[in-house]
């Protein structure tokens, strides 16, 4: 839940060693193997969409231990460019690219592997590099052919959001489905699952999936405020159960590590590692799970949030290598606006990881044109996800400002920014979608059980989705 003061308002390789090369196409295609030799092995894997691609590069040291490395390669097409890299420093001159190790991954023992990657752009074709060098030594071997685009999945037979869109990924500044097409997910957030468990019983979630036609259910697991820290095993089990319920109903499930007070996410770093290690292991084989690793950082710098993210993300990636992960932004996930900042700090210093999006939160009666303008500016460069917003003021209460809410949702629709509304609960406050006492009963369909905010949001969410498949 947002509580924001809106007036102020997240060594070298031994000479003569040679290398083996393995080149892969998409994660959907088998890797192409080359003749092996002592030295190193490289795996290059891409996922492409119209005009862009993400490349993952795995470097394995098969020779003597090294302390500092430079990987070199050349693109096979002049239009291919590195746009944004992670886990290495990238430079490009013409088609030639060099990637230099960072302080934490430069030391590679014999048999050790490190992974780097980048987002790129291209026009025409997108062939894979045909050779690599490591510290100036050519990696031997050849490929059987260039990288090809991912195989297009067959048309879906089921019609739930998760069945149609399948496994999601970040493509450029968009959230894309299994067909590589930008999509928007529209859905609801729970309130604290410690306070409103009856609001997430089977009939309620049936209504959310089939009466609201919701694409997304955000599971808000508070860490403090009688939450996870009081019973880690119990709350992990509750979250797992709700993920299974959302999955059974064809919705995407967002696991929200709901930090708010204290605002420094590093306060909960070890808890986050423990929690995300458990839930990512449980749900790694699912295509519908999104991880939101910190809710509303506040009173801390972007560098602190980024450092936290770059420690938590590898924990998830160890189990679930390619799930979408959402990182909170500064000043209650306002891209810094609520503390006098803006998105430039994130644009210039993004998280070093792939398939990452950035959170933005707003409350329509309190946040207006300057917040909208900053989100639109950021969305041209960054993949944004509105993981929480309300139709009311920043306290979560007050009258629903439907005029401002409409302007906000029209903007999100136009930019294809996914969102979750606060909240699918019957708390006696303006942001709640359900009338007080509703969750004590068994009827959740129709408009009679809804507040003004709930009726408005149901009407917006249940209109047909635009989920392109070709």
Distance CA 411, CA 384 (A): 13
Strands 31-33, 20-24: pairing kind: antiparallel
Distance CA 88, CA 117 (A): 8
Q: Given the residues 292, 339, 388, 429, select the one marked as catalytic.
A: 388
Distance CA 333, CA 378 (A): 13
Q: Given the residues 296, 339, 374, 429, select the one marked as catalytic.
A: 296
Secondary structure element (H or E) that encloses residue 232, with its range: helix 232-248
Catalytic (active site) residue 388: yes
Residue 290 and residue 280 in contact, taking contact as beta carbons nearer than 8 Å: no
Distance CA 384, CA 265 (A): 20
Which letter, b or e, does each residue of 191-227 get, where b requires 16 or more Cβ atoms within 10 Å of its Cβ?
bbbbbbeebbeeebbebbbeebbbbbbbbbbbbbeeb
Please give the biggest Cα pair distance in the chain. Answer: 77
Catalytic (active site) residue 292: no
Tokens of 389: 């917003």
Residue 218 and residue 211 in contact, taking contact as beta carbons nearer than 8 Å: no
Q: Residue 370, SS3? A: helix
- On the 0-12 / 13-18 / 19+ scale of CB atoms within 10 A, 349 is exposed
Residue 162 and residue 251 in contact, taking contact as beta carbons nearer than 8 Å: yes
Q: Which residues pair with 208 in a beta bridge?
A: none
Secondary structure element (H or E) that encloses residue 40, with its range: strand 40-49
Instruction: Tell me the catalytic residues.
Output: 296, 388
């Amino acid at each position: 839940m947002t509580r924001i003061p809106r007036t102020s308002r997240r060594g070298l390789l031994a000479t003569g060693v040679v290398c083996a090369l393995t080149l892969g196409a998409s994660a959907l295609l088998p890797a192409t193997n080359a003749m092996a030799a002592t030295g190193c092995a490289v795996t290059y894997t891409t996922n492409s969409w119209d005009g862009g691609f993400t490349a993952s590069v795995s470097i394995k040291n098969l020779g003597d231990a090294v302390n500092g490395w430079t990987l070199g390669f050349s693109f096979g097409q002049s239009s291919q460019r590195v746009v944004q890299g992670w886990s290495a420093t990238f430079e490009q001159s013409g088609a030639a690219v060099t990637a230099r190790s960072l302080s934490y991954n430069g030391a590679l023992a014999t048999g050790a592997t490190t992974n780097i990657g980048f987002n790129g752009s291209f026009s025409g074709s997108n062939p894979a590099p045909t050779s690599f060098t490591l510290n100036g030594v050519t990696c031997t071997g050849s490929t059987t052919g260039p990288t090809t685009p991912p195989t297009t999945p067959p048309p879906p037979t089921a019609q739930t959001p998760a069945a149609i869109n399948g496994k999601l990924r970040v493509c450029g500044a968009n959230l894309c489905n299994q067909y590589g097409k930008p999509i928007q997910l529209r859905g609801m957030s729970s309130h604290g699952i410690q306070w409103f468990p009856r609001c997430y019983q089977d009939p309620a979630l049936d209504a959310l999936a089939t009466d609201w036609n919701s694409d997304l259910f955000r599971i808000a697991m508070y860490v403090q405020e009688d939450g996870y820290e009081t019973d880690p095993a119990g709350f992990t089990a509750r979250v797992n159960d709700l993920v299974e319920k959302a999955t059974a109903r064809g919705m995407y499930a967002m696991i929200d590590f709901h930090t708010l007070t204290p605002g420094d996410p590093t306060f909960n770093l070890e808890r986050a590692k423990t929690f995300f290690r458990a839930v990512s292991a449980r749900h790694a084989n699912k295509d519908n799970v999104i991880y939101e690793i910190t809710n509303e950082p506040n009173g801390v710098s972007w560098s602190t949030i980024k450092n936290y993210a770059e420690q938590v993300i590898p924990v998830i990636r160890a189990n679930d290598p390619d799930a979408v992960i959402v990182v909170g932004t500064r000043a209650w996930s306002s891209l810094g606006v609520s503390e006098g900042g803006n998105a430039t700090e994130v644009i210039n210093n993004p998280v070093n990881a792939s398939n990452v999006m950035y959170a933005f939160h707003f409350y329509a009666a309190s946040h207006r044109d300057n917040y909208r303008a900053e989100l639109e500016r950021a969305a041209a460069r960054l993949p944004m996800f509105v993981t929480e917003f309300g139709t009311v003021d920043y306290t979560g209460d007050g009258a629903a400002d439907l005029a401002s809410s409409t302007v906000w949702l029209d903007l999100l629709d136009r930019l294809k920014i996914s969102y979750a509304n606060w909240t699918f609960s019957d708390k006696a406050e303006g942001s709640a979608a359900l009338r007080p006492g509703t969750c004590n009963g068994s009827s959740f369909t129709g408009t009679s059980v809804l507040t003004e905010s709930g009726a408005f949001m149901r009407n917006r969410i249940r209109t047909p989705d635009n989920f392109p498949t070709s």
